[in-house]
Amino acid sequence: MARVRKVRLDELEAPLVEPFETSFGVERRRRFLVVALEDDTGETGLGECVAARDPLYSGESVATARWMLQTYLIPRLLREELPTPEAFFAQARPLREHLMAKAAVEIALWDLHARRAGTSVARALGGTRSRVEVGVSVGIQPTVPQLVRRVGQYLDDGYRRIKVKVKPGWDREPVGALRREYPDLRLWADANQAYPPSAAREVAAWATEFQVEQLEQPFPERALSAHAEIARGAPFKVCLDESITSAEALDEALERHALTSLNVKPGRVGGLATGRAMGRRAAEAGFPAWVGGMLETGIGRSFNVALASTPPFVFPGDLSASDRYYREEFVDPAFELGPGSTLRVPTGRGLGVEVVERVYRKFLRRRREFRRSA
């Protein structure tokens, strides 16, 4: 009978290459948890938790994820037989919410099971692509010319799709400037819920005028009717991110016509199995799904890239090269931008890349170990 014999809960903090500003705040350093499992054969599995230091993007934080993991999720893993990722998620269902904490374990279980089977997570998920198309998510910049310059650099790097963060007061001007400077740019805008539904007309006006291909989460997470209204007849896609917290939430949003595109972040929705199911539902409904990101290190990103290699994910993901996020990458090989604005899908066992111990140790702040009692 296979079991998890040891769980390590690490807390790390690493500076971002540049500050990442959104409608909800600025992140200069990223503080995050990593769950490391070890089974009774010594095989391991890693999962990066996407909860941020502060509960600004979602209600979860490093502290709530730590509490959930140490109090409920890790003790259960150490008591029972090794679950599949799906079984783990189903068993954890009575414990409400805390999807980021659950996802960290679910993802580590994908890694562990793929390693045990001698295969990659991409293959285990049913991935069919060897490279995935990607773009960059560009934070709010101090000035419009700085944004235009920053985007120009990313285009020079080879990125072919740019998502800009917008908010009231930082929208028509920066988006218009980008469109004038780069007439053919594939341009997306993400508001992270910053607009009241009453701003719909104004938001639709600049998104239309400047040929924004996709507008992400303009309104608050519960405002499905506002999203449905702006989507009706719009020349741009309306993408939901924060609103979609489960496969059931996605079904309801689809029924209410609240989206025409879907951002799937496995680390936010409870894991890769849920993320894959959501991608399939979006595809069945005839809408593009794509894999988002939460500024993960190469550890978390390798799983995101694996998910993006499966068929439903047809739009380019928020999955940039390592050097867009951290000066020193946590994995080897680092993710590099390749031809056609793509990243290579790792093919090695499990997550498919090696953790760089030196970098990992350098940014490690705290470690706790939990063992199965004999």
Q: Active-site residue among 102, 163, 165, 237? A: 165
User: In DSSP terms, which residues pair with 30 in a beta bridge?
Assistant: 14
Residue with tokens 């296979």: 2
Nearer to ligand OSB among residue 320 and residue 322 (C-beta):
320
Examine residue 192 and tell whether it contacts ligand OSB (CB under 6 A): yes
Nearer to ligand OSB among residue 7 and residue 226 (C-beta):
226
Examine residue 320 and tell whether it contacts ligand OSB (CB under 6 A): yes
CA angle 127, 283, 274 (to 5 degrees): 60
190/243 Cα distance (integer angstroms): 13
Which amino acid is located at 314 in the chain? V
CA atoms within 13 A on the CB side of 90: 6
Q: Active-site residue among 102, 163, 237, 265? A: 265
Please pick, from the candidates 190, 213, 296, 329, the single residue that binds Mg ion as defined by CB under 5 A. Answer: 190
212/204 Cα distance (integer angstroms): 10
Binding region for ligand OSB (CB under 6 A) out of 83-91, 204-212, 290-298, 349-357: 290-298
Nearer to ligand OSB among residue 66 and residue 165 (C-beta):
165
Examine residue 288 and tell whether it contacts ligand OSB (CB under 6 A): no
Is residue 165 a contact partner of residue 139, using CB atoms and an 8 Å limit?
yes
Examine residue 43 and tell whether it contacts ligand OSB (CB under 6 A): no
Residue with tokens 């279980």: 109
Which residue's C-beta sits nearest to ligand OSB? 293
Question: Among this protein's residues, is 165 annotated catalytic?
Answer: yes
Please pick, from the candidates 92, 207, 295, 353, the single residue that binds ligand OSB as defined by CB under 6 A. Answer: 295
Examine residue 21 and tell whether it contacts ligand OSB (CB under 6 A): no
Question: Binding partner of residue 171 among ligand OSB, Mg ion, none, CB under 5 to 8 Å per kind?
Answer: none
CB under 8 Å, gap of 24 or more: what pairs does 58-65 form? 58/100, 58/242, 58/268, 59/97, 60/97, 60/98, 60/99, 60/100, 60/101, 62/11, 62/31, 62/32, 62/33, 64/98, 64/101, 65/33, 65/98, 65/100, 65/101, 65/104
- Least CB distance to ligand OSB at residue 57 (A): 5
Q: Kindly state the number of chain residues that form the binding site for Mg ion, as judged by CB under 5 A.
A: 3
| Torsion from C-alpha of 239, 273, 104, 308, nearest 10 degrees | -50
Question: Binding partner of residue 294 among ligand OSB, Mg ion, none, CB under 5 to 8 Å per kind?
Answer: ligand OSB
Examine residue 60 and tell whether it contacts ligand OSB (CB under 6 A): no
Question: Among this protein's residues, is 237 annotated catalytic?
Answer: no
Nearest to residue 136, comparing CAs of 185, 207, 192?
A: 185
Supply the residues annotated as catalytic.
Answer: 165, 265
Residue ranges binding Mg ion (CB under 5 A): 190, 216, 241
- Chain contacts with ligand OSB (rule: CB under 6 A): 57, 137, 190, 192, 241, 292-295, 318, 320
